[in-house]
Amino acid sequence: MAVRVRRIYDSPEPEDGVRVLVDRLWPRGMAKDAARIDEWPKGLTPSSELRRWFHAGDGSYEEFARRYEAELAEPEAARLVDHLRELVRSGDVTLLTASKSPDRSQASVLRGVLDGG
């Protein structure tokens, strides 16, 4: 079972498995039917405060990752992480983001948490 990170704007592929949107806001210009999203757990996304802090350029990606991992340890988010782990045990999961740099986004941090746990 694999965890992939892709941009939501990329065409869905058969090997995507379960497609999970990990952005708090719906991606601009993306039609919901074209996105082919299976799950959108908003409680798993970075807090609005953390998202604004990171996008304002106030801190490093490493600090963002540390803060986001702390948020993922909170009870509601931890429950959703456990749910994603169950999905990964059952098959492939693709974490989707609108970020122009998916490898330096919350999707990449979340993949690391899933791979490490």
Distance CA 28, CA 64 (A): 23
Q: What is the pLDDT of residues 66-76, one digit of tens each?
A: 999 999 999 99
Put simply, whether the predicted model's pTM sits higher than 0.85 gets the answer yes
Q: Which two tokens stand for residue 24?
A: 């708090």
Over the chain, what is the mean pLDDT?
93
pLDDT at 105 over 80: yes
pLDDT tier for residue 57 given thresholds of 50, 70 and 90:
confident
Q: According to the model, what pLDDT value does residue 16 have?
A: 95
Q: Provide mean pLDDT across the span 50-71.
A: 91
Q: How many domains does the chain have?
A: 1
Distance CA 30, CA 11 (A): 11
Which tops the pLDDT comparison, 38 or 56? Answer: 38
Q: According to the model, what pLDDT value does residue 72 have?
A: 96
Are the C-beta atoms of 18 and 3 separated by less than 8 Å?
no
Are the C-beta atoms of 20 and 42 separated by less than 8 Å?
no
The residue length of the chain stands at 117
Range of the domain at 10: 3-116
Distance CA 41, CA 112 (A): 17
